[in-house]
């Protein structure tokens, strides 16, 4: 009797998962805010939403058996792994901007990132987004290495899944536990091949700007050195190169990790940010958020665009 019950348990679990898979509505791609913590989620099935099985998190972790049984969903292999948002484009269908799960190319870490699928052909992996000052970017070095914020709001990079626990009192609910991940992930993501960096800004008067560089990468820790080659495109930028050469080749500095070229003081402290400071900045996009744009000099500044203003929105992404 005891033995039969034990033998049946996997079957019972498996059929309850099937029920879950078939009947529950789609929310898995809209994970709520979690800063190194856990969120409770309804689980969605691949039969009602086959697209979910293309999400490695769900296909590999939540319901591997179910996803492989779904029609028209290929088994995830090394070759079709989504290593960044640009890989989604290769799957030959349209994708909307939002949070997607990727598996990094080198350490095979499963991580959620925000993908911009609208700007200039889409496929951009967004690693920094600021819109309203809800997240404080005056963070220590460890926070920049490990990431902060939420991929759904303001953030510095992505979110790694730690584990999933099933809620035994409700078969539809799973608890997903996350850890945020920052410069360390950016180093891995940008060292796969030659990447393009794009910066999008919006001024308080509504004017938009973008600046695009090729040859983008972020070096290994603990320096996380910025590399950019040449500007390849821009809008509303009246003069010369900026990130390159001024910030190109600089290590990342924070208030507790001064790697800048300024001999007598810390640029991160003086200008209230974490950045690839030289001595000190032409761009300070992790500076203080000012609701009205002033005083600009410790703010979110990009000098060729808005020299005397802390901009309203900033986004940094690569593909």
Q: Does 258 bind ligand NAG (CB under 6 A)?
A: no
Is 189 in contact with 125 (CB distance < 8 Å)?
yes
Among 19, 194, 265, 279, binds ligand NAG (CB under 6 A): 194
- The yes or no reply on residue 142 touching ligand NAG (CB under 6 A) is yes
Among 251, 273, 274, 287, contact with ligand NAG (rule: CB under 6 A): 251
φ, ψ of residue 187 in degrees (nearest 5): -60, -50
**By CB under 6 A, is residue 131 in contact with ligand NAG?**
yes
Residue with smaller CB distance to ligand NAG, 246 or 305: 305
Counts for the chain of helices (H) and strands (E), in that order: 7, 15
Indicate whether 36 belongs to the interface with ligand NAG (CB under 6 A): no
Assess contact for 45 and 19: CB atoms under 8 A.
no
Would you list the DSSP string of 164-183? EEE-TT-TTEEEEEEEEE-H
83: its two tokens: 């290593």
Closer CB to ligand NAG, 16 or 194, in the complex: 194
Binding mask 198-217 for ligand NAG (x = CB under 6 A): -----x-x-x------xx--
Nearest approach, Cβ of residue 197 and ligand NAG (Å): 11
The size of the interface with ligand NAG (CB under 6 A), counted in residues, is 20
Q: Which is nearer to ligand NAG, 36 or 50 (CB)?
A: 36
Tell me if 140 contacts ligand NAG by CB under 6 A: yes
Among the residue ranges 105-113, 140-148, 164-172, 266-274, the one whose residues contact ligand NAG (CB under 6 A): 140-148
Tell me how far CA of residue 27 lies from CA of 45, 169, 254, in angstroms: 10, 19, 37
- By C-beta, is 100 or 155 nearer to ligand NAG? 155
Alpha-carbon distance of 283 to 275, in angstroms, equals 9
- Please classify residue 112 by burial: count the beta carbons closer than 10 Å to its beta carbon, then call 0-12 exposed, 13-18 middle and 19+ buried: buried
Residue 234 binds to ligand NAG (criterion: CB under 6 A) = no
Q: Please report whether residue 248 would count as binding ligand NAG according to CB under 6 A.
A: no
b vs e for 294-315, b when ≥16 Cβ sit within 10 Å of the residue's Cβ?
eebbbbbbbebbbeebbbbbbb
Of the candidate residues 68, 81, 109, 223, the single one contacting ligand NAG (CB under 6 A)? 223
Determine the interface stretch with ligand NAG among 53-61, 182-190, 273-281, 304-312 (rule: CB under 6 A): 304-312
300-307: which pairs have CB atoms within 8 A and are 24 or more residues apart?
Answer: 300/130, 302/199, 302/201, 302/209, 302/211, 302/242, 303/242, 304/237, 304/238, 304/239, 304/240, 304/242, 305/201, 305/203, 305/209, 305/211, 305/236, 305/237, 306/201, 306/203, 306/209
CB of 145 to ligand NAG, least distance (A): 10
Q: Which is nearer to ligand NAG, 49 or 130 (by Cβ)?
A: 130
Query: Binding to ligand NAG by residue 306, rule CB under 6 A?
Result: yes
Question: Which parts of this chain interact with ligand NAG (CB under 6 A)?
Answer: 131-132, 134, 140, 142-143, 153, 194, 203, 205, 207, 214-215, 223, 229, 251, 259, 305-306, 309
């Amino acid at each position: 009797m005891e033995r039969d019950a034990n033998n049946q348990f996997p079957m019972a679990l498996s059929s309850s998962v099937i029920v879950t898979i078939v009947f529950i509505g789609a929310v898995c791609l809209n994970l709520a805010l979690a800063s190194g913590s856990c969120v409770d989620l309804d689980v969605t099935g691949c039969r009602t939403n086959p697209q979910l099985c293309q999400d490695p998190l769900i296909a590999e972790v939540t319901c591997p058996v179910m996803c492989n049984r779904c029609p028209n969903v290929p088994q995830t292999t090394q070759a079709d792994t989504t290593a960044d948002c640009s890989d989604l484009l290769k799957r030959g269908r349209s994708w909307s901007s939002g949070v997607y799960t990727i598996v990094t190319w080198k350490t095979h870490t499963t991580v959620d990132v925000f993908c911009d699928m609208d700007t200039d052909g889409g496929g951009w992996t967004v690693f920094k987004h600021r819109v309203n000052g809800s997240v404080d970017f005056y963070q220590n070095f460890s926070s920049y290495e490990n990431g902060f914020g939420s991929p759904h709001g303001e953030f510095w990079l992505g979110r790694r899944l730690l584990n999933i626990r099933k809620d035994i009192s409700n078969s539809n609910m799973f608890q997903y536990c996350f850890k945020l991940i920052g410069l360390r992930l950016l180093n891995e993501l940008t060292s796969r091949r030659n990447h393009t960096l794009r910066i999008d800004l919006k001024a308080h008067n509504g004017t938009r700007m973008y600046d695009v560089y090729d040859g983008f990468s972020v070096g290994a820790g603990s320096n996380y050195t910025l590399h950019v080659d040449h500007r390849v495109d821009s809008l509303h930028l009246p003069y010369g190169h900026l990130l390159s050469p001024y910030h190109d080749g600089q290590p990342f500095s924070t208030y507790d990790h001064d790697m800048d070229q300024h001999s007598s003081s810390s640029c991160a402290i003086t200008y209230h940010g974490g950045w690839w400071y030289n001595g000190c900045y032409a761009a300070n996009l992790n500076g203080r958020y000012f609701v009205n744009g002033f005083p600009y000099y410790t703010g979110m500044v990009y000098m060729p665009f808005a020299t005397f203003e802390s901009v309203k929105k900033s986004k940094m992404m690569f593909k």
